[in-house]
Structure 1
């Protein structure tokens, strides 16, 4: 598993500053700050941390955390990894700009199977509109921002819509982000509990787990090979969401998967040893303290 990503690479964009903004209709979005500066990085370099952070934000959401706590967690994630790229992840193709309408598979956010390109773009540009014009399958997008022009030159092989999602005006809905993170956590815990509780489940319950897992997936990314210090597999992800989903899928199905759930705090972590039960020494100590107190007070101890 580690060897697979050790000789792999990809490119994504993150800004050095983000902010929460509320649109005219009262919806909350995260977007680059007005004075933010973009940079390009390789999200595969630290794939375990990226996937685990995403899963644990979803776990926090499933545990009914406060909005302020969730916003803080999402801000930390986006500041380190960039936006998810929902705009290009949802349609049937990231090249949707070249079609007369945007076609969408079933999803949590937009119920119509197809909508106009302008209406779709408005979901991700709720504040400052971009200079975009479309007539039929023909479209035109202009920018005079030097930083954006430099990004376009560097990542010129990306679809037009991907480059548009790197603009400072681009925004992603808080509600939509929470749903995505929650789905990842649900997928992880479905897999974990399916095997942990297999003998306790009846066939209907097992079937529900399998159906839920079968719904997890996305459009397969393309790739090419570059001759760098050594031959390197370069993944052509058109959204960070797809990047995370693919890496998550490999980690989940790996025979030597290190993914585990902490016995104390319930968060996902990557175990460095097969017998690890806690994500940190602090969690192990706290668990043992609680267990000792429960035994002393003759009260139910934490489940083993």
Structure 2
């Protein structure tokens, strides 16, 4: 996997501080703080840990007993470490949607319309303060006054305009969309894990249900271009953090050398160092053994009482 994406346009922006804000309709968003400072980094340098963090956050989102405040805290921790997911450029058929007369959307969980005006689409991601952007047919104009934003635009001048727009401090992403996306990743992981774990005891109808659930996983593929380096080289273009996580996750699931498992004690996803590994850490193994030992003692005491 590392070799496959050795050359990639994957740089992303994260801010050092984010905050939760509610719009006039009562919808909760997360957005960079006004005085937050941007940081340019490459998420693919730590792709395995990023994917594991995303899956474990999704597993937390799937638990009915997890409170909203807990989810907000964990979402904030993830976003402060990796940045917002970039829904704005991940959802349309192309991240170059600014150059089209309308925005076109494939089937997704978040927006039902198949197409809409660019201004209407942008309103999903700039709910608090309008940006200095005007569009008429295929022509558009975007005024930048923030010094940090100017620096970001210069550093990422080869990215589509919509990508750099998504790094503005006014940009925001919905809490419920984030929860749904992380749930999807966790559901995909659990489906794959349980399918192969229980393959021998599943009937054909159950197998078909698992396969149908897995078939629903997917999205817009990354684009690429060819550069003339020491030889013609494919350079992958990732225009959202969401797509980077999804692609790396897909390859981790299908890579014969990768083994993602669920810890037998804490229930978290981890990359197993050997095929028979059942625990994510020695601590979990010890705690599990202590728990089993206590359970056996309690069972023995119950039998004596009988």
**TM-score tier after normalising by the smaller chain length:** over 0.9
Question: Secondary structure at the residue paired with 1:58?
Answer: helix
Name 1:297's counterpart in structure 2: 298
Q: Gapped runs of 5+ residues in structure 1?
A: 300-304
Question: Structure 2 stretches of 5 or more lacking a match?
Answer: 301-306
Offset of residue 234 of structure 1: 4.5
- Partner residue in 1 for 2:17: 17
Match for residue 68 of structure 1?
Answer: 69
Root mean square deviation, CA, Å: 2.1
Q: Supply the distance in 2 between the matched residues of 1:83 and 1:240 (Cα, whole angstroms).
A: 7
Partner of 2:180: 179
Rg (Cα) greater in structure: 2
2:47 is matched with 47
TM, length-normalised to structure 1: 0.93
SS in 2 for 1:40: strand
Q: Secondary structure at the match of 1:273?
A: coil
Q: CA deviation at 1:258?
A: 2.2
How far apart in 2 are the matches of 1:231 and 1:280? 43
* Deviation sequence 1:187-209 (CA, Å, 0-9, x none): 01111111111122221221111
- 1:77 equivalent to 2:78? Answer yes
Partners of 1:30 and 1:96 lie apart in 2 by 23
Q: Between 166-175 and 280-289, report the one with greater CA deviation.
A: 280-289
Residue 274 of structure 2 is matched in structure 1 by 273
CA distance in 1, matches of 2:236, 2:120: 30
Does the C-alpha gap of structure 1 residues 230 and 101 become closer, same or farther in structure 2, counting only changes over 3 Å?
A: closer
For 1:66 and 1:164, the matched residues in 2 are separated by 32
| Separation in structure 2 between the aligned mates of residue 137 and residue 182 of structure 1, nearest angstrom | 36
Residues 1:187 and 1:144: Cα distance change in structure 2 (over 3 Å): same
Q: Give me the whole-angstrom Cα distance separating, in 2, the residues matched to 1:122 and 1:114.
A: 14
Aligned-residue offset at 1:218: 2.1
- SS at structure 2 position matched to 1:287: helix
Deviation sequence 1:134-166 (CA, Å, 0-9, x none): 112221111111211111111111111111101
Does the 8 Å contact 1:55/1:181 carry over to 2?
yes
Written as runs of structure 1 = structure 2, the 5 A alignment for 1:113-128 is 113-128=114-129
Aligned to 1:285: 286
TM-score using structure 2 length: 0.92
Aligned pair count reads 299
Displacement of 1:126 in angstroms is 0.7
| Conserved 8 A contact 2:102-2:115 | yes
Offset of residue 274 of structure 1? 2.3
Does the 8 A contact of 1:269 with 1:279 survive in 2? yes
Alignment of 1:142-181 (within 5 A): 142-181=143-182
